[in-house]
Amino acid sequence: MTPPDLPEDAALFLDFDGCLVEIAPTPDSITVPDALPDLLAQLHRRLQGAVALISGRNVDDLRRYLPEFPGAIAGSHGAELALPGQPIQPPAGEGIDIPALHRQAQDIAAAHDGVLIEPKPHGVVLHYRARPDLAEWAQAAMDELAAGYPMLAIQPAKMAFELRPKDAGKDRALLRLLGSEPFLGRVPVYAGDDLTDEVAMAAAQSRGGFGIKIGDGDSVARYRLPDPAALAQWLAR
C-alpha cells in the first residue's frame, strides 16, 4: 500500500543503502542521485530540522556521500550519533580490539573468493552478495567469530552478516532521537529496506507513526514502495 502524504508534524528517519540509494555490488560502488542532497535539505527545512539518517554505515562514511546533509546522523546501527554542529558520540565502554576483529574476519574470508569484508569502527560485516551459495557458510563463520566477542551481536542483512555492538539498534537510535528536539512530540516516519530496519519501523508505529518498506519481502511496515526512486518521488511530493 502506498503511504499517505508526509504529516506536517512528522519526524522523518531514513535508511541509506537500498532506501535513498540503490544497493550496489560493493559498499563503495553506490551512486548518490544528483537530486538527493537538495531533496534532503528541503525536507529538513520543511520539518524544522526533524530529519535524520539511521544507517548501518558509520557517520564519517555517510558524511562522505552526503557532505551537506544538515540533520542528525545515527551510524553503525545507532552505535554512533552525530547531532548537527556536534562531534560524533561513540558508544561507551566497548572494550573491543577492533583491529584484531578485522584481521580475524579477513582471515575467515580468505577461504573463499567473492567474499567481501567491510571493516567498521565498531564491528565488521561479511558480504556474500557475489557468492549467494555461501549463505550457510557465512552464517556459521560469523557465529564462530562472534563467540570471541560477547559484547557484539550478529545482525543479519541482505546477503551479509554483521557484528555490531550488542546495545546498538536502529530502533534505539530512533527512540533516542524522538526524546529530544527537534524530534520531540512529532509523528515518527521511518523508511528502510532491510532486516535491520524492521525494529525501527515497529518502533515508529508503536509511537503513532508508520513505517515504509522499500522493496520486496515480509515487513511489519504498514506501507510499501518498490525502490529508492519511488521513495524520492513520494518525499518530493
Residues with a catalytic annotation lie at 15
- Asked whether the bond before 228 is cis by omega within 30 degrees of 0, the reply is no
Q: For the chain, state the CA radius of gyration.
A: 17
Would you state the cell numbers that stand for residue 131, as one nine-digit string? 557468492
Cα–Cα distance between 33 and 179 in angstroms, integer? 31
Helix H segments across 32-189?
Answer: 36-46, 59-65, 98-109, 135-146, 170-178
* Helix 228-236 with 36-46: angle, nearest 10 deg: 40
* Closest by Cα among 49, 45, 10 to 208: 10
Would you state the cell numbers that stand for residue 181, as one nine-digit string? 528536539
* Closest by Cα among 41, 72, 69, 74 to 57: 74
Cα–Cα distance between 39 and 44 in angstroms, integer? 9
Residue 21 DSSP one-character state: B
Report whether 127 contacts 116 (CB < 8 A): yes
How long is the chain? 237
- Residue 1 CA to its chain's centroid (Å): 23
